[in-house]
Structure 1
Amino acid sequence: MNDEPIDTGEAVRCGFVAIVGRPNVGKSTLMNRILGQKISITSRRPQTTRHQVLGVKTEGARQAVYIDTPGMHVMHKDRNRAINQFMNQAATQALRDVDCVVFIVDRTKWTDEDDVVLSRLENVKAPVIVVINKVDWLNDKSALLPWIETLKAKREFAAILPISAKHGTQVDQLEQEVASYLPESEHFFPEDQITDKSSRFIAAELVREKVMRQLGDELPYQMTVEIEEFRSEPNIIHISALMLVERDGQKKILIGEKGERIKQIGREARLDMEKMFDSKVMLKLWVKVKRGWSDDERALKSLGYHLD
Structure 2
Amino acid sequence: MTNSNRYEKIRSVITKIKELIAELNDLLRNENLKEIIQSLNRDISRLIEKADEDLIFFYSRINFSDRGYKLQRVIDGDTIIVDPPPKYLDMKDIRVRLYGIDTPELRFKKGKLFKDFLIALFKELDYKKIIIFWDREKENTYYEGFPTSSFEREVGNVFIEIDNNFLYLNGLLLMYPDVSSNINNKDLIKGRKYIKDIVEPFNHYIKCNCNSEFLNGVKEISYRFFEEYELINWIPLCLIYFNKNILKELRTSSKVIFEGMINSLKEFRCPFFYLSDIMELKEILKKIESNKINPFDLILLAAENWKKLLLKNDFKI
Structure 1 length normalisation: TM-score? 0.22
- Bigger Rg over Cα: 2
Higher normalized strand content (fraction of residues):
1
Structure 2 length normalisation: TM-score? 0.22
